[in-house]
Amino acid sequence: MAALTGRDFLSLADLTSEELSQLLTLAADLKSGKVQSDRPRKILGLLFRKASTRTRVSFSSAMWQIGGQVLDLNVQLTQVSRGEPVKDTARVLDRYLDVLAIRTFDQAEVVEFAHYADIPIINALTDQEHPCQILADLLTVSEVFGGLEGLTLTYLGDGNNIAHSLLLGCALAGVNIRVATPPDYVPDGDIVLKARAIAGDRSEVIIIDNPQEAVEGAQVLYTDVWASMGQEDSAESRIPIFEPYQINNQLLARADRQAIVLHCLPAHRGEEITDDVMEGPQSKVWDQAENRMHAQKALLVSLLGE
């Protein structure tokens, strides 16, 4: 089991390559039933400022399956909505809960929670990163190909939180990562540098604006919506900019013959991905969505310890 007991999980960069590998192995073992886990009387809090389907339900199901309970802390029904300082909320919830998952806008908020609370704090999504999603993604890729190291994953679209966490996660796992975006929508430069430092000579980290070149020979094609939550006002204006990055059958044909397609959902079918690709034989989107629960179950087990 990964030695994560009592730690926070705010970024994939919080893990070593060995810890990531151990976490994915535990997730696979929990999914198959090879390993059983029971964490009775443990309580997970969910503090979400952003709408959620998969993150809320997968965390709730995961915690229930390991014997714990969940408190869904509706922000609008707590003092957080009335401006209670993060440091006050964090110190109070620390005394009620065993672990807290936060889905919010600013990465600084989860960092501040982690500073003032002793319980493990999980980044369930910020505008900077979505580390829990990438645990599920890497588990899915590993299931299909029997491992991760040496594979090539191409992400197409906006250089957003998914792109950031994929850069870090692929670097840790020894997966070659190509991020293809329009020139004005590249990922954060500091995260790219961090990913390259983690990857070293083990794998490639490439930022590119040519989608055809980016998918050539890749084993995994991945996309996300072109306008994330909070960017809805720019959604229409982004469409012509991002159209060349749509995953369709023509682009998929340039990838490896055995390539799979991933999407973190929700999808805007007909924009970043076509309906026929999403419903096609190379799509692993639904396995990927299921694996959110299994990966987060492993994360909770590891953070809560024995």
| Residue 132 is among the residues annotated as catalytic for this protein | no
Tokens of 41: 């009387």
Tokens of 261: 């397609």
Residues 160 and 46 sit within 8 Å (Cβ to Cβ)? no
Termini Cα distance of the chain: 10
**Prior bond to 266 cis, omega within 30?**
yes
Kindly report the backbone phi and psi dihedral angles of residue 104, in degrees, each rounded to the nearest multiple of 5, phi listed first.
-150, -170
User: In whole angstroms, what is the distance from residue 11 CA to residue 20 CA?
Assistant: 12
Residues 175 and 148 sit within 8 Å (Cβ to Cβ)? yes
| Residue 264 is among the residues annotated as catalytic for this protein | yes
Q: Which of 49, 54, 132, 133 is catalytic?
A: 133
Q: Which of 224, 263, 288, 294 is catalytic?
A: 224
User: In whole angstroms, what is the distance from residue 176 CA to residue 254 CA?
Assistant: 17
User: In whole angstroms, what is the distance from residue 288 CA to residue 283 CA?
Assistant: 9
| Residue 202 is among the residues annotated as catalytic for this protein | no
| Residue 22 is among the residues annotated as catalytic for this protein | no
Q: Which of 264, 288, 294, 296 is catalytic?
A: 264
Q: Which of 49, 54, 130, 238 is catalytic?
A: 130
In angstroms, the Cα distances linking 18 to 3, 194, 231, 285, 294 are 10, 17, 36, 26, 19
Residues 66 and 41 sit within 8 Å (Cβ to Cβ)? no
| Residue 130 is among the residues annotated as catalytic for this protein | yes
Kindly report the backbone phi and psi dihedral angles of residue 271, in degrees, each rounded to the nearest multiple of 5, phi listed first.
-105, -90
User: In whole angstroms, what is the distance from residue 261 CA to residue 253 CA?
Assistant: 12
Q: Which of 49, 54, 103, 178 is catalytic?
A: 103
Q: Which residues are catalytic?
A: 103, 130, 133, 224, 264, 292
